[in-house]
Amino acid sequence: MSNTNNTITFPELIRLKRDGGQLTEEEIHAFVQGVKSRAIKDSQIGAMLMAIWLKGMSEKETLQLTKEMMKSGEVFDWSDEWVVVDKHSTGGVGDKVSLPLAPALAACGCKVPMISGRGLAHTGGTLDKLESIPGFKVNQSVQQVKQILLDIGCCIVGQTETLVPADRVLYALRDATSTVDSLPLITGSIISKKGAEGLNALVLDVKFGRAALYKDLDSARHLAQSLVTAGNNLGITTGAILSRMNAPIGRCVGNAVEVCEALECLKGRGPDDLNELVLTLGGYLLWISGHSPTLENGKNMILQKLMNREALKKFQAMLVAQGVTEDAAHSLCADDTDYFKHMKRAAHQTELKAQHDGTVLEIDGMAVAKVLHKLGAGRNEPGEKIDHSVGAEILVDMGQQVTKGQSWIRIHHNSPELYIHQHFDLQKALVFGSSDEFKTESRVAEFIHPR
């Protein structure tokens, strides 16, 4: 196929964008349809992606791209009485927020059809974390998702084949043509999938810092504004928080160990920074979706659902609905439990000792994640198997006074021992200083409200 709609050919369309022109609604429609049907050659799609990367897209073009991508597949249609909400995070080391957040929102009366992803490279995927629990099934049909939402209120599932098929083609070609980091292409990819989920409200957690894709606040703000604009233009009440991602979130990094920490959060015993993110993202969604008159009130509602264990009960029910046995779900959610009775524990636990006295100023999350990745916690190629039992528990707090010889991290691994360079990389991740150099910072730096 060489024509869009018998008026302009694809080479002409590529030239138009390459030369900085604006694409019309019909032209974007023809492009996305051609991508979906594979009528446009990969070389032409790649050239168009590069033209978009170089010249950008206006707000109007970005919205049209997002809408066309969304309409390239199935769009969920829920009961008018439901308030359907979700969150999207740009990903960070130790980010297990979705696990307590989805059931806490369901306990507040929202419907949460959370469609999550798998990890690649150093990033951990929510689906991988949940698959540490034997029996948990991330693949659920639309009918099953509907039933789980009706019965429980939340589910965490993988993307179905029918949801935004154009994104699968575009994403693979973006990867192959070094055009992943384009604002309109990222926006179209993320927001089209959220639009297809049939949401009323969406909160985005856009991370910045050493262990995030965006290293500084300005570039994270730029992305957040583009996502918030497209979400609202699509009719989803959308807001964002910009959150700091220097140290890992909480104390656990890996798959099974992060499930343990998420369960602790659901039992009201989570680490402060994880609690802060769950309360803020949840409270914000309750506020913008009209469930709560203020953000503060929304945060209190989430806190209450964690403290009174209603969120935990929702999580337990979700586990059973998604394939975990009643016995295992009950036991994981019990007060005093051995989590590793039901999840695989790594064969070895190695503790590393602090090499100096001092105050903990920083723990380089990316360095820890890279070591874990090599130990089997992450994958290099989509579809690769991972070892859910590999992980790390950080045994010290930021700002804590530590003495030489004190254990500061416990690595769970199945390789017989850690290599010398892994010891070295981990020790380098722990940054010491004096107590007056340490300043406590909230994870949440800024909000971008719906327009």
Marked catalytic residue, from 87, 146, 193, 267: 193
Q: Which 149-188 residues touch ligand URA, going by CB under 6 A? A: 186
How far apart CA 75 and CA 207 sit, in angstroms, is 28
Is 407 a catalytic site residue?
no
Q: How far is the CB of 173 from ligand URA (least distance, A)?
A: 12
Q: How far is the CB of 180 from ligand URA (least distance, A)?
A: 6
Is 193 a catalytic site residue?
yes
- 206 or 328: whose CB is closer to ligand URA? 206
Q: How far is the CB of 137 from ligand URA (least distance, A)?
A: 22
How far apart CA 45 and CA 41 sit, in angstroms, is 6
Q: At what angle do helices 165-176 and 183-196 cross, to 10 degrees?
A: 160
Helix (H, G, I), strand (E, B) or coil at 86: strand
Contacts of residue 62, defined as CB under 8 A and 6 or more positions apart, other chains included, come to: 183, 184, 187, 188, 226, 229, 230
- 148 or 227: whose CB is closer to ligand URA? 227
Among 190, 224, 260, 302, binds ligand URA (CB under 6 A): 190
Is residue 120 at the binding interface for ligand URA, with CB under 6 A as the rule?
A: no
Contacts of residue 313, defined as CB under 8 A and 6 or more positions apart, other chains included, come to: 103, 107, 333
- 96 or 207: whose CB is closer to ligand URA? 207
Is 167 a catalytic site residue?
yes
Q: In degrees to the nearest 10, what's the CA dihedral of 206, 210, 216, 221?
A: 0
Is 189 a catalytic site residue?
yes
Helix (H, G, I), strand (E, B) or coil at 327: helix
Q: How far is the CB of 189 from ligand URA (least distance, A)?
A: 3
CB atoms within 10 A of CB 296: 12
- 102 or 263: whose CB is closer to ligand URA? 102
- 190 or 321: whose CB is closer to ligand URA? 190
In this structure, the strands spanning 201-208 and 85-89 are parallel
Hey, what amino acid is at 35? V
Tell me, by CB under 6 A, how many residues bind ligand URA: 3
Hey, what amino acid is at 103? P
To which H or E segment does residue 115 belong? strand 112-115
Residue with tokens 């360095």: 367
Of all residues in the shown chain, the one whose CB is closest to ligand URA is: 189
Q: Which 301-330 residues touch ligand URA, going by CB under 6 A? A: none
Q: How far is the CB of 61 from ligand URA (least distance, A)?
A: 16
- 92 or 270: whose CB is closer to ligand URA? 92
Residues at the contact surface with ligand URA, assessed by CB under 6 A:
186, 189-190
Residues with active-site annotation: 88, 167, 174, 189, 193
